[in-house]
Chain A
Amino acid sequence: MAEHSSETDDSLFRAAFGALPDAACIFEPIGVPGEGVADWRYLAINPALCAMFGTGDLTGQALGQHFPKMLAHWTADLERVILSDTPAVLVREGGQSPSFYEVVLTPLRYAGRRAIMARIRDITGEHQAREKRREADARYKLLFDAIDEGFCIIEVVFDADNRPVDYRFIEVNGAFVEQTGLVNPVGKAMRELEPDIEDKWVAAYGRIAQTGVAERFESKSEAMNRWFDVYAFPIGETAPYLLGILFEDIGKRKAMELALRHSENRLHSLIEASSDLIFRMNPECTLMQQVGGKPLLGDVGEERNWVEDFVPDGDRAAVEAGLADAVRRRAPLEIESRVRTAGGDIVWLAARAVPVLDESGAITEWFGMATDVTTRRQTEQQLFQGAEMLRVASEIGKVAMWEWNVETGEMFWSEEHYRIEGYSVGEVIPSYERWADRVHPDDLAGVELRVAKAMETGEDYIHEYRVCHPTGDILWVSARGRFMFDEAGKPVRMLGAMIDITQRRREEEWQRLLVAELQHRVRNLIGMVRSVARLSAPSHRHVDEYVDHLIGRLQAMGRTQSTLTRSPGSSVDLAELVREELLVHAVQPDQCHVDGPEIALSPHAAEIVTLAIHELATNSIKYGALGDTGYIRIVWSSEQRGDKQWVSLRWQETAQLRKTKQNRKGFGRKLIEERVPYELQGHGRFAVHDTGVLAELEFPLVDAGSILDPRS
């Protein structure tokens, strides 16, 4: 280069300087750098700079002359570069922001003098791009650490044959450790961290690294005992790519999914297998749709107004009320009603539904199931009717029932059973002992023997025995029972019924006595008639007279008998007896005076008094007062003598004259004087005075009457 003249060099330099794309200029200090530089003179200025500043060629002129602000701004930098003799790159914001300039200051020597070249480039675009990337990077980093998912960047390691063998973590986020359990992974290889890691992971990542195709998959790592949901994508321009991996440990979700699927399967099976009808209803419970289970209503098809379509008219109001109540309370609904199926059959359905609520608590729908309870209802109805029938029948029939659990000793008594045993209902806990307590002591052995026999043979237990009440009452009961046996023939239960037959027993006994008494009376009467006939005979010479007397006496006896049988066992009123006897003999009221207190005679005494009055009246008509214009006083009284009440009856005739004097002891006199003492343990007197007959009867009153009175 030495041959070249400085003139040639200068023109070459100028050409190059002028062709520079960047704006450039060369300054020389006006003054001594380090001691005070007043201004900078342009030694050269290229066209690009002229264009940038919009000026002409400023060579030879001073910077401060044209751009005083620039001088103030730059002079320190220019002086520093000159003094340090080191190039500097400065970035400055332009006056019209946003605009950035890169200024390169290079110290140089020009014609033996120190100078400086400034090259100015507009880097506004570059600067903005860089700022943007920096912001993006910061945001990315923030996101990276903020997400719950694990994220990492890996580099897949290939062997010599280009097969993936491992992968290395380049970067991981905060959630990585939590999601994987791998600690401090950055810079380490996977097989270093987890030697047992499955090959499938390396294979998958190797494939993505080579193909550059992102993949999404769920897979379980047995080695890590975790389920992962993974999205792996390539990073970079060429294969083998780095990989970004976004993943999540979905073990819990997976377990829940499995459980949910299992549960769904089971629910589905249940619905399919259900003999119930599964349904949903609208919030108002008016429309119903079958969603599964058995078609209890037949083919329901679309949503239907089920109350109108299926519920019979009579039950509709009750069902609607039940629905309205459940809707109002927003509480589970339970309804049992008859429904008419699509086929026209009437069945009983028990439906239960629960409201499904949304977040605001409003009902969105009802979900429920219905069961066919027709058989149960029928059974219940039959049971109810049966029990009702049994209850009424046993109440009406006064049947006492018992059930005896032979194994446990437990006993059940119906209310009537308590009553028959002389307990108030519920007074004692029924038991064999409480029952045995009330059996008549004399009957207990026999009853227990019968029960034991029935238990042994399986034959029905049938027995009649006496029950003693604490009140002293004794009841006759008729009991029938049957033992139930298990398969092994062991007695397990005894069921039985019992009725009070005291009345029947009493009537039977009464009837037996009555028949016996009747026989006795008839035979006695015949004996008596025979005796009366014989005893009447001696006093009459004429047959006609004898027959009259005999018939009269027999009629009087007949009257007594009819009085007695008319009201068997009851007593006879003395006054009534006397009046009736006088009436029979046609005694006029003005012929007699009857007076005495009210006295009840035993049937036996009544019979004798009747006959006595008959004899006296007959006699009086024939011979005494009643046959004439006489008068009779019949009076009686009673008084206490010792421990007995005695009655005294007096018959007194007053006659003008006596037809015959009668001293012979006739039938009537014998009756009064002998029969009264003999049969009534009393006294009898019969006397004939001038004025007429005076007869007196005295005897103690006894309660015991005829056997016909069962209470006596």
Chain B
Amino acid sequence: MTDRTLSGHRIVILEDDYYQAQDCRQLLEAAGAKVIAISATVPDLSALLEEGRIDAVLIDINLGHGLSFDFARDLKARAIPFVFLTGYDAAMLPDDLAGSGYLTKPADAARIKAALAHASQSAR
């Protein structure tokens, strides 16, 4: 693998399904990214930021717990780029998050990498 699209990017994955989270981690690390956190629940953002910057966050919308939107708002407030990766339609997004980066499951590796690269790029 010589893909270095996300070389040096510090990325957080919020995904409640263990297998998909592992899958994502593997493909992002293969693209040169450093996955600094992988969690099925909303992580402590402040603690993570103390360890270093966050270039992008990949968020699975989990309506079952309904917390991911608040987490996204928190990220938005801290100007941390993020991309939703979800089985739901974009119509599920609340109005204030409507313009956010968005990928529909199942997404292939190329699209995930491109979306995260784009998000972190535009934030810089």
Contacts and interface: CB of A to CB of B under 8 A. Distances in A.
Contacts of A530: 23, 106
B18 A678 contact: yes
A524 B18 CA distance: 12
Q: Which residue, A526, A530, A706, has most C-beta atoms of chain B within 10 A?
A: A530
Given A679-B17, A704-B65, A520 B23 contact: no
Contacts of B17: 524, 527-528, 531, 679
A531 B20 contact: yes
A604 B65 CA distance: 12
A159 B65 CA distance: 139
Given A519-B88, A519-B89, A523-B105, A528 B41 contact: no
Interface residues of A, number: 27
Interface in B20-70: 20-23, 40-41, 63-65
B13 to A, nearest CB: 11
A516 B22 contact: no
Interface in B59-90: 63-65, 86-89
A678 B21 contact: yes
B21 A526 contact: no
Contacts, number: 66
Given A527-B106, A678-B40, A681-B41, A535 B22 contact: yes
A526 B20 CA distance: 10
A707 B63 contact: yes
Given A519-B88, A706-B64, A679 B18 contact: yes
B107 to A, nearest CB: 8
Given A516-B89, A704-B64, A527 B105 contact: yes
Contacts of A675: 18-19
A628 interface: no
B1 interface: no
Contacts of B87: 519-524, 527
Contacts of A706: 64
A520 B88 contact: yes
A541 interface: no
A532 interface: yes
User: A516, A521, A678 — which one has the most chain B CB atoms within 10 A of its CB?
Assistant: A678
A534 interface: yes
Contacts of A534: 23
B104 interface: yes
A531 B64 contact: no
A678 B22 CA distance: 11
Contacts of B89: 516, 519
Nearest to A709: B64
Nearest to B108: A530
Nearest to A536: B19
A704 B64 CA distance: 8
B37 to A, nearest CB: 12
Given A527-B105, A532-B19, 20 more contacts: A516-B89, A520-B87, A520-B88, A524-B17, A524-B87, A526-B106, A527-B87, A528-B17, A528-B20, A530-B23, A530-B106, A531-B19, A535-B22, A674-B18, A678-B21, A679-B16, A679-B17, A679-B40, A681-B41, A706-B64
Which 4 A-B pairs give the minimum distances between C-beta atoms?
A523-B87, A520-B87, A531-B19, A523-B105
Interface of A: 513, 516-517, 519-524, 526-528, 530-532, 534-535, 604, 674-675, 678-679, 681, 704-707
Interface of B: 16-23, 40-41, 63-65, 86-89, 92, 104-106
